[in-house]
Structure 1
Amino acid sequence: MSRRTGVILNDRVLFQSLTGVGNYVQTLLAALRKLPEGPDVRPFLSSLIGAPSRVGATAPRPTAPADGRATRPGRPRRVRRWLRPALLRAYATGFRWAARRSALYHEPNHIPIRCDCPTITTIHDLSVLVHPEWHPADRVRWYERDFARGLAQTERFLAVSEYTRQELVNRLNIAPDRIHVTPLAPRPAFRPQPPERVAACRRDFALPERFFLFVGTLEPRKNVTGLLAAYAALPGSVRRAHPLVLAG
């Protein structure tokens, strides 16, 4: 076998609607590419399809009927659901083949693909283990099937916070010296913006000068129902002056 070089990164999350992990991968790749002597990182799927310009692309969002009623999944969706396991197995096989030529594998999404390449795994949190009732059933099954195997495969862990590092140590008995804390840095977009840009955004979305903002996916672990209940409990004068904006 030829000498292994570089880092292979599982970037599959970039080719679906971006959530937290997808944004993490997107910004990580962008930052690594700016380093003058950074590591040779190869995003697997982007390289495979020869479309580096698509790094960070998101899948089109489904549109809801104008009357807001839910529709039954049609045949294309049922076919995709049936094909998904086979496609994931094929993806994993291709990834393992490519990983044979890499010196290191970085898995950014909790559970690495089974392979013999030295592996670093990013752990964002352990909420699937601690509160499985907050997560979709297929995600819980994925953890039940593969999480322990992924822990055994991983040589070093990246934890996005000291809290997550402590969770890995206390709940999973992982040696502290195998865990490195790499806090997530804010994007430039989260810095104070020029007044004209702020005014344009408020105008586009009909926003007042002051408001409450929630940013995140709509799923049980985000506790949006608790947020709505807390907001509804505020005095009417506060709610009229500060509308609640949900974005994600």
Structure 2
Amino acid sequence: MKVVLGCDPLLAPLTGIGHYTQQLGTGLLNSSRIEKLKLFAHGKYYGHELLLESDNSEKSEIVNGTLWAALRSNLASSNLAVSLYSKLIPLIEKRALSGKRDYIYHSPNFLLPNHGGKRIVTIHDLSTLVHPEFHPSSRVKLVNQAIEQSVKFADHIITDSVFIKDQLCDGFALPVNKVTAIHLGVSEHYFPRNEVQCNHVLSSYGLGFKQFLLFVSTIEPRKNVLRLLQAYQLYREQDSSGLPLILVGGAGWNSDEEHRIIKKLEAKGWIKYLGYVKQSEIPVLYAASKGIVFPSLYEGFGLPVAEALQSGVPVITSENSAMSEFSAEGVYQVNPYDVDSIKMAICNLAQNDHESKSITFDWSDTVEATIDVYGC
């Protein structure tokens, strides 16, 4: 099989979809089942070096000079940029792909160009359709139009969970055999660690082994940070010597209120907001924590939950969600809209000792299942 893999998520600092694209691309490149692999984004082909973990300066050298570099900073807020993007890019992409009809095109991020060969698209979630209030209006319009076009023209669709597959099939009246749910993998850097293995990171942040709760994600409304903070405050008012809450992640869209409360609780000495930390430190923080709190309102998969389970630590997460389908022993499922439900789970997690068994989410399984879809 010959594959063109969309690589647009690799052209900026890696988020969850960027890591998915990187892991998938690396797996395809190393697979004996794939004859040729080309990386493609916004009308341009890129070398395989884009799959390597590199710092931002190296990435900038690869990306500079592209139309995407000129537009990307404006897409979230400018209707003009969105309009320009939607009109020009399809024409450029069609021309660039015209000689690759014998290739399977796989878009890892809902945007499916006009390709004459077989087309596969991964739709990670439907948050812009189900919860448009969690996104800027210009982004909602762009993403929803792209999803509708992808659903219409894709030969097959991949989702990260059965939860999203069901929403997609119900919302677009799709036959279930047109959509395949494939769980994501988790980096091998996430595994159980003892105190000695964690001390080098914990000492730099003044933290004790198994003496804190951890939240890792972007600070934004969809992650339910406000209710988490309210629940945590109730827990600390009930237990003044309770565990601190450590928050790791950048400031997302429309998060002013979350940051106001974070500063208030920081002043009490209850919370530490670390913002961005080195990627190499995050797996250590997972393994060193008493547990992960992730009562998100909506996820396509919920990677922090899988990372925690592979690290062998307990988790608080949302019931009736994508996370529910791979949750295991050591997972507290809560009503994410009920502050008291979250608070009770925090109390239980903090006050009890847990010996959670590590569950492995292997990226090679994700890659093999994806290649199976290519051959359908």
Number of the residue aligned with 1:188? 188
Shift of 1:101: 3.1
Tell me the SS of whatever aligns to 1:8: strand
Letter in 1 for 2:96: A
Aligned: 1:98 with 2:99: no
Find the aligned partners of 1:136 and 1:35 in 2 and give their Cα distance. 39
Q: After superposition, where does 1:144-163 map in structure 2 within 5 Å? A: 144-163=144-163
Q: 1:30 to 1:206 in 2, by over 3 A?
A: farther
Alignment of 1:53-202 (within 5 A): 53-55=49-51, 56-57=53-54, 59=56, 81=74, 84-85=81-82, 86=84, 91-102=89-100, 103-193=103-193, 195-202=195-202
Unaligned regions of 5+ residues in structure 2, if any?
Answer: 58-69, 250-376
Match of 1:68 in 2: none
- Normalized against structure 2, the TM-score is what? 0.53
Which range is displaced more, 216-225 or 79-88?
Answer: 79-88
SS in 2 for 1:233: helix
Structure 1: tracts of 5 or more residues without a match: 61-76
Are positions 1:215 and 2:213 aligned together?
A: no
Count how many residue pairs are aligned between Structure 1 and Structure 2. 228
Larger mean CA deviation between 102-111 and 45-54 belongs to 45-54
Identity in percent: 25
Contact 1:6 1:40 in 2 (8 A): yes
Correspondent of 2:9 among 1, 10, 13: 13
Native 8 Å contact 2:132 2:140 kept in 1:
yes
Preserved CA contact (<8 Å) 1:158 1:182: yes
- Structure-2 residue corresponding to 1:229: 230
Kept in 2, the 8 Å contact 1:159–1:179? The answer is yes
Once the two structures are superposed, what CA deviation does each residue of 1:201-243 show, in whole Å capped at 9, x if it has no partner? Answer: 2122322222111111222211111211111111347564421
Distance 1:8 1:239, change over 3 A: farther
Q: CA deviation at 1:59?
A: 5.0
Could you say which residue in structure 1 is the equivalent of 2:40? Answer: 44
Give the C-alpha shift of residue 93 in structure 1.
Answer: 3.9
Q: Show the counterpart of 1:243.
A: 244
Q: Tell me if the contact between 1:15 and 1:59 (Cα under 8 Å) persists in the aligned partners.
A: no
Match of 2:329 in 1: none
Aligned CA-pair RMSD: 3.1
2:157–2:178 contact (8 Å) kept in structure 1: yes
Q: Give, in angstroms, the shift of residue 14 of structure 1.
A: 1.0
